[in-house]
Structure 1
């Protein structure tokens, strides 16, 4: 079998890394006031949902010491 003189079959891909274009991409579009307000509203809604779930969930996570002491006193009285 004969060897090719070109070491890489697609040599133009290796050259593409060094290619520089003189065409600048267009500047990014600025969001409108409505879009900004929507983003802020969505962010505040997510934060309020997290805080609300934490406030509602805290009583379920806390230990209820009063019922445990009442049960132990009732069992000692027997």
Structure 2
């Protein structure tokens, strides 16, 4: 068995580096004022929700034992 060797023209590779298309993508549309205001409001809402969840969540997750001690002391005073 023999392999047939064919000449591979590498000129197309060199031409591909220099080739520039005359077709350009359309220019990006600038968002309107109302779209910018909507994006800002959505961003502020998300950030406010995260900050609010931290404000309410961090104290709830604190390892403070005062509620358990007050329940025990109330039960002790009741008897």
TM-score, normalised on structure 2? Answer: 0.62
Give the Cα separation in 2 of the matches to 1:17 and 1:60.
Answer: 62
Q: Could you say what secondary structure the match of 2:43 adopts?
A: helix
Deviations 1:20-74 (A, max 9, x none): 3456544321101111011101100110110011011012221213256666xxx
**RMSD of aligned Cα (Å):** 2.8
Unaligned runs of 5+ in 1: 72-78
Question: Does residue 2 in structure 1 map to residue 41 in structure 2?
Answer: no
TM-score, normalised on structure 1? Answer: 0.62
Q: Could you say what secondary structure the match of 1:52 adopts?
A: helix
> How many residue pairs get matched?
68
Unaligned runs of 5+ in 2: 73-79
Question: Does residue 49 in structure 1 map to residue 49 in structure 2?
Answer: yes
